[in-house]
A and B are shown apart, each in its own frame.
Chain A
Amino acid sequence: MSMNEIHPMDKLIRADRMPHIWCSGCGLGTNFICYLTAMEKSGLDLNKCVIVSGIGCTGRIPGYTNIDSFHTTHGRAIPFALGLKLANPELTVTVFSGDGDLFAIGGNHFIHAARRNVDINIICVNNFNYGMTGGQFGPTTPLDAKTTTSPYGNYEHPFNLVDLAAASGAVYVARWTSIHVRRLSKSIEEALLKKGFTFIEIISPCPTNYGRRNKLGDGLDEMKYYREHSIIKHGINPKEADLSFNGEIVVGKFVDIDKPTFLDNQPDMSQMSVNNKK
């Protein structure tokens, strides 16, 4: 490492790549450190933890993580992760990617992996736009919000990601914002240790694109907004955890259930062929 001071997280990040590319006031660095803290606290064997992402600002996270990490093609983080898990079921596989990557181009992968309850963890950073490519609107941009491609306000209805995840079959669904550092870390830790398809949405500031075009101030102002407008409602129907432009942000853990995973349900093929021979 070039600097002689060593941050306690330097063992889990690729410290020689710091500073990272994220803008000043972006929430991604904070979300990232919450994930690292959770992974450390979970007591999991780090040699058996894997992180996968698609493309985007959030997609840079695996590149900075000092465990086995994969930066895959746009929208294809989930099928890649699924392959890893099925080929080597001992791995704890986490997909850490953005709202555009996971729910626009990768939307179909998401609903089907959730439906099959594949034992992988999805962490989605939702900053309501495509940050890396210049701030275009996407499937999570709230109605009326301004982006480069909706300069007069977005007129498309957005997804409610937690509702979509729960309806598709996820066994663990939570939403936090970047200001909820302790609750978010705890939630990620729970998800890492949970069997089945887990989903955590993190509402996160993008001051450079979304924040600037919607006059939300800088990253600090967005963080203060989350502090003042978030309401914790554990266990409510995720349908009611809607997000609106300039409205309150409902956060909390909405779903935590148990059901057999894809691998649990898979019949033992070797046994079947033996039986058939008899």
Chain B
Amino acid sequence: MNLSEPKNKDISKPPDYWRKPLDVEKYKIPHGAVHIIIERCKGCEFCIEFCPQKVFEVSDEFNSKGYHPPKIVSHDKCVNCKLCELICPEFAIYITEDEPMNII
């Protein structure tokens, strides 16, 4: 087998020959629960563009001021970095800590 070219190209999953590390239980991926205050959003899309995990997408819905708020498309991916909370100019997003996720 050519080791430089893993059979499994999907890097989000470990390759076939990967053995489970002994300390895998010790390390967890932080996880956040995302809260969007829809009525505060002005649709600037900063959160959508700059979330490193691409958790958001533009929603088709409008809020009462006519802006498209973000919608959460992959909540599982949120790593609780809180960048969206810091960059949203409208105080419209915040994150609360959720149960950390397993590495494998």
- Whether B104 sits at the interface, judged by CB under 8 Å, is no
B89 near A: Cβ within 8 Å? yes
Stretch touching chain A among B1-9, B15-23, B32-40, B71-79: B32-40
A-side binding surface: helix, strand, loop or mixed? helix
Taking a contact as CB atoms under 8 Å apart, the answer to whether B89 and A28 are in contact is yes
Interface string of A37-66 (1 = CB under 8 A from B): 100000000000000000000000000000
Give min CB distance, B48 to chain A, whole Å. Answer: 9
A220 at the B interface (CB under 8 A): yes
Q: Which of A7-15, A131-139, A236-244 lies at the interface with chain B?
A: A7-15
Interface string of A7-36 (1 = CB under 8 A from B): 111100101001110111111111011100
User: In the complex the two chains form, what is the Cα distance from A69 to B49 in whole Å?
Assistant: 33
Interface residue B90 (Cβ < 8 Å from any Cβ of A): yes
The reply on B101 being an interface residue by CB < 8 A is no
Q: Are A19 and B42 in contact (CB under 8 A)?
A: yes
A181 at the interface (CB under 8 A from B): yes
Contact partners of B83 in chain A: CB under 8 A: 181-182
**Residues of B contacting A3 with CB < 8 Å?**
37, 39-40
Q: Which residues of A contact B40 (CB under 8 A)?
A: 3, 18-19
Chain A residues closer than 8 Å to B50, beta-carbon distance: 179, 223
- A75: min CB distance to chain B, Å: 25
Q: Does B45 contact A (CB under 8 A)?
A: yes
Docked pose: A28 CA to B44 CA in angstroms: 12
Confirm or deny: A215 has a beta carbon within 8 angstroms of a beta carbon on chain B.
no
Q: Does A129 contact B (CB under 8 A)?
A: no
Q: Across the interface, do A34 and B49 meet the contact criterion of CB distance under 8 Å?
A: no
CA of A24 to CA of B89, assembled, Å: 9
Tally of contact residues, A, Cβ under 8 A = 33
- Whether B91 and A30, one on each chain, are in contact in the complex, defined by CB atoms closer than 8 angstroms, is no
| B88 close to A29 (CB less than 8 A) | yes
A15, A218, A220, most chain B CB atoms within 10 A: A220
Contact B86 A33 (CB under 8 A): yes
Q: Are B46 and A223 in contact (CB under 8 A)?
A: yes
Nearest opposing residue in chain B for A224, CB measure: B49
Report yes or no: B46 in contact with A30, Cβ–Cβ below 8 A.
Answer: yes
B43, B65, B87, B88 pick with most chain A CB within 10 angstroms:
B87
Contacts of A33 in B (CB 8 A): 85-89, 91
Given contacts A3-B39, A7-B94, A8-B94, contact A220 B45 (CB under 8 A): yes
CB closest residue in chain A, given B89: A29
Which residues from B are CB-within-8-Å of A26?
89
Task: Give CA–CA (A13, B35) in the complex, Å.
Answer: 18
User: 9 tightest A-B contacts by CB?
Assistant: A29-B89, A24-B42, A181-B86, A25-B44, A7-B91, A30-B89, A7-B94, A5-B37, A220-B45
On B, residues with C-beta under 8 Å from A are: 35, 37, 39-40, 42-46, 49-50, 65, 67, 83, 85-92, 94
The 12 sampled A-B contact pairs (Cβ below 8 Å) are A5-B35, A7-B92, A10-B91, A19-B40, A24-B42, A25-B44, A29-B88, A29-B90, A29-B91, A33-B86, A181-B83, A185-B86
